[in-house]
Amino acid sequence: MGNQHNFDGERMNCGILHIGVGNFHRAHQAFFINQLLRDEDQANWGICGVCLLASDKNTFQNLTAQNLRYTLTVCGRDGRDELHEIEAIKELLWAVEQPDAVLDKIADPAIKIITLTITEGGYNLDKSTQSFIWDNETVEHDLKRPSAPKTIFGFIAEGLRRRREKQVGGLTILSCDNLQHNGDAAKQAFTTFIAEQDEDLFHWVRDHVSFPNSMVDRITPTTTAQDVERLNKKSGIADKAPVYCEDFIQWVIEDNFIAGRPALERVGVEFTDNVEPFENMKLSLLNASHTLLSYPSMLKGYRKVDQAMQDEDIRAFIKTFMDLDITPHVPAPKGTDLEEYKQTLVERFGNKSVSDQVSRLCGDGLSKFPVYIVPNLKKMIAAGQDLSRVAILIAAYRHYLAYLKDDTGSSYEINEPWLTQQDLDLIKDENPLAFLAIPPFKHLNLADEKGFAEHYVNYVKRIKNEGMGTVLANQSLSH
């Protein structure tokens, strides 16, 4: 790594424990903390990262080999890059090999906040009912063997138990995942597990742990081997774990911290009493549009988001969806111009320097649909709106899962970690309506929703017979 130092790393202490040290965390929360640590009075808010999964081995080894420092390339919409050297991670633990160190760190009195990026599906909540899923081998293991946890719920519970025993006070658990009311979801998941495992601890947690809601935003692609080579060539630094992202960044947090917090407002983080308007805007417009873009783009043969955004039919599809389908259900947060926000989204999606992967947006649709699409779909049904664009999306999702080939005949791999055999049977069922019984949609009764079902069955047949491109071209002509 290079020699540039933003602050005195020796002076820094860890006040934040972060679980899920992926690219997004390293481009977003760590970026903000890195800026803040230049202020001497904020030196106690360094990050101790925790890699929880066996699949985190490479991240752990690569970062450890370079003293936890890495480069972040911020790619501007104007084509200019900005290089940052991030040194905000002071310690890094791998739970697979260092479980006791992770538990002791949760109980460390210096730790005041645990932040999470564990993905939408990581909270183990049912996609339809939002209730905690008990039918899970590792969850069952953690209930029976609290001192040897395997899941995040077991680690947090045992760590908090040790914290209570040491009498070092409470802390804040701050979700930084793209979930509606992510703090409430985290509270539901962790307190439900803890109540089942240890009722006394549950009562302690109720009084000593806060779960603020937050909204996070920064498009951060997966880093491929080719990206590593490209980024290192540009920076002149031999970085085993570089990250790149767009130039837009936003973090809005409910100001509900039980044990103090860093002064992140100094570096542009917004604190508020109510995150919901920001969260609703972002999930309904950015994340929902990402989902709307993903499957049709993949089926048309696109693999990069900026290339898909050059396609007039795809761009028109997204703009019409935002304007006609979603905007009626999105009250603008105070000080936000929704038209300007939507235009910025189109520019961000088309950022050639970022060139995000369509496959990343397609991944784990089973967890994304209930969060990004279903809430507004319910409102659209209640309002008697045109459901044709959502019908195209769900028909495209079915085709994407069922056929594994795009309009050009090229194949692709799917990433759906939560698919069950029952789901696969519904996907392969010759009756297209059977697909509507998979978890994201099963409680919506879409098969009985006339304004939806007829469109959907028609689009399923047409995508198969005519191709995604023709379906989108005709949709574009009708508006």
Which pLDDT score, from 0 to 100, does residue 175 have?
Answer: 99
Q: CA-CA distances (angstroms) from residue 3 to 29, 59, 71, 86, 87?
A: 23, 22, 12, 12, 12
Alpha-carbon distance of 134 to 124, in angstroms, equals: 9
Angle between helices 182-197 and 152-166 (to 10 degrees): 70
3-state secondary structure 91-124: EEEECCCCHHHHHHHHCCCCCCEEEECCCHHHHC
- Using an 8 Å Cβ cutoff, are 34 and 6 in contact? yes
What's the CA angle centered on 334, arms 329 and 336, to 5 degrees? Answer: 75
What's the CA angle centered on 286, arms 53 and 242, to 5 degrees? Answer: 45
Phi and psi torsions of 19, nearest 5°: -105, 120
Alpha-carbon distance of 345 to 4, in angstroms, equals: 33
Phi and psi torsions of 231, nearest 5°: -65, -40
Phi and psi torsions of 259, nearest 5°: -130, 30
Q: CA-CA distances (angstroms) from residue 183 to 210, 211, 274, 310?
A: 9, 5, 12, 37
Where are the domains positioned within the chain?
A: 9-272, 276-477
pTM of the model: 0.93
User: What is the identity of the amino acid at 48?
Assistant: C
C-alpha radius of gyration, the chain, whole number:
23
Within 13 Å of residue 297, how many CA atoms lie on the same side as its CB? Answer: 30
Of the candidates 238, 122, 135, 126, the residue with the CA atom closest to the CA atom of residue 177: 122
Q: Longest C-alpha distance within the chain, in Å?
A: 67
Which pLDDT score, from 0 to 100, does residue 2 have?
Answer: 43
> 276-477 has which fold?
N-(1-d-carboxylethyl)-l-norvaline Dehydrogenase; domain 2 (1.10.1040)
> 9-272 has which fold?
Rossmann fold (3.40.50)
pLDDT in tens, 166-225: 999 999 999 999 998 999 999 999 999 999 999 999 999 999 999 999 999 999 999 999
What's the token pair of residue 293? 């873009």
**Tokens 């908090």 appear where?**
160
User: What long-range pairs does 136-144 form, CB within 8 A, spacing at least 24?
Assistant: 139/193, 142/193, 142/197, 143/193, 143/196, 143/197
- Using an 8 Å Cβ cutoff, are 103 and 161 in contact? no
- Using an 8 Å Cβ cutoff, are 113 and 174 in contact? yes
Phi and psi torsions of 46, nearest 5°: -65, 170
Residue 237 makes CB contacts below 8 A (sequence gap 6+) with: 1, 2, 71
Which pLDDT score, from 0 to 100, does residue 4 have?
Answer: 44
Which pLDDT score, from 0 to 100, does residue 3 have?
Answer: 38
All residue ranges of the chain with pLDDT < 70 are 1-9, 476-479
